[in-house]
Amino acid sequence: MSALSTPSSRPRVFTLAWPLLIELSLAVAIGVAGTAMAARVSDTAGAAFAVTIQISQTLFLLFRILGSGIGVVITQNLGGGRRDVADKVALAMVGASTWLGVAVALLAFAGANTLLHALQAPDAVLPLATPMLQVLAPALLFDAWNAAMAGVMRAHLRLRDSLLVLAVMHASHLLLAFPLMVGWGPLPALGLPGYALALLLSRALGLALHLGFWRRSLGIRLQWGDWWRLRRAPLADVLHIGIPAGAENIAWRLSFMASMAVAGSLGERALATMAYVQQIGGVVVMCSLAVALAVEILVGHLIGAGRLREAHGLVRASLARGLAVSGVMSTAMALAGPWLLGWFTRDPAIVREGAILLWLTVVLEVGRTFNLVVINALRAAGDVRYPVMAGAASMALVLAGGSWLLGLHFGLGLAGLWIAYAADEWIRGLLMWRRWAVQAWVPYARAARRRLRLQ
């Protein structure tokens, strides 16, 4: 039986969203703490930290090819009462994550300098950013495993167990990062590579905890062959969802990285300002993302159970609440902007420009909520190609092209980048909402239900 077998048994979005929100809050807190520690060294170190983290996050998006499909396929199978198929998918994801994680780690280590040059990283930033990225490389393999295992646990509605793993993992990272970065007793001061080493150790601890919860909570025990074996049938189902969904994420990230190259050409101060504002704005993003992930989980279960009308109502109500929350929170962040920016820097020019960007973030984040909530719902329903086709042109022309046009050609600097970001989010968000409102996703949801019946 599915966990959502009756309407009365269905968890509310908030019930699932709050553990996800805490998970995301911890991740943002680690990023803020890392940025603050790097900024205490110098604004150049803060810029190096920002560029390196952006590259690692871009490489992490390759795992989204698997991660986007894992949750949808498992939730649909659980909703349809096929736990056996869901377990096969979970085991297949471990082997696939090994191969993909190794490939990404090798790319980050061997191509660190090339990747940084591609982002137009200033010469002063390179000596700090290159070793940090190389130490981060092996952590990407552990991130691949942890992301897959956490996705499986969320699909099984084991969000509190997943939260506990993330809490321990991020807490250990923070506890290790400070002494490794600045030195403590016999430990030498490693600077930015110390942050990366702490991340690696915390991810190894997270993997050990995930393995324990898989055995205890899900009854899934990994054998040696599961770590490297590629199973074609489960992978095909996941990639059917994951490739288009991952392509949408990768297209956005590549366009965003192009805008970061524009910021890099504006100098170290612009990169530092961008990093500080994004860390503050990340608080708003995580709230919308928590709602979006909760919606995806519930919609996947409802589609598997054939309850399409409930899924439609759930998305409409969740989107309205998400828009209200993102609007209120982004406005609060903008009002507190000068004070919040003072945590990172004493440079009055950075504080002044950052405060302007935080007001532009109000418009940006409300538009982004459309994408996070509705695209995740479309994905859970099996409608994964439209977001890529509809969004690719906007990402390339409005996000990347608009960043260059407004930021450099018209000389608006970072404000031009933020205007381009907001325009792209609103265009794609309204397109996604129209897709959901006219119920163009229904044939895909019915097709997913038919596949479950055939299995």
Digit-coded pLDDT (tens) for 43-75: 788 888 888 888 887 787 777 667 767 777 888
Classify residue 71: in a domain, yes or no: yes
pLDDT in tens, 347-406: 888 899 999 999 999 999 999 988 889 988 998 888 888 888 888 889 999 999 999 999
Domain count, the chain: 1
0.75 exceeded by pTM: no
User: Is the pLDDT at 209 greater than 90, yes or no?
Assistant: yes
Confidence of residue 86 (pLDDT cuts 50, 70, 90): confident
CB 390 within 8 A of CB 398: no
| Domain-embedded: residue 5 | no
Residue 2 lies in a domain: no
Tokens of 109: 């280590």
Each residue of 144-186: pLDDT tens digit? 999 889 888 888 888 788 888 988 998 898 888 888 887 787 7
Q: What distance in Å separates the CA atoms of residue 225 and residue 227, rounded to the nearest whole number? A: 5
Q: Is residue 8 part of a domain?
A: no
Q: What is the pLDDT of residue 207?
A: 94
Mean of pLDDT over the chain: 84
Burial of 362 from C-beta contacts in 10 A (0-12 / 13-18 / 19+): buried
User: For residue 73, what are the contacts with CB-CB under 8 A and spacing of at least 6?
Assistant: 86, 89, 234, 237, 238, 241
pLDDT band at 5 (very low <50, low <70, confident <90, very high): very low
Q: Is the pLDDT of residue 211 over 90?
A: yes
pLDDT value at position 10?
52
Segments forming the whole domain that contains residue 44:
14-454
- pLDDT for residue 7: 47
Assigned domain for 234 exists: yes
Model confidence at 344: pLDDT above 90: no
Residue 454 scores a pLDDT above 70: no
Q: What is the pLDDT of residues 251-279, one digit of tens each?
A: 887 898 889 888 888 887 888 888 888 87
Q: Report yes or no on 1 lying in a domain.
A: no
Q: Residue 426 pLDDT more than 80?
A: yes
Phi-psi region of 413 (alpha: psi -120 to 50; beta: other; left: phi over 0): left
Does residue 313 fall inside a structural domain?
yes
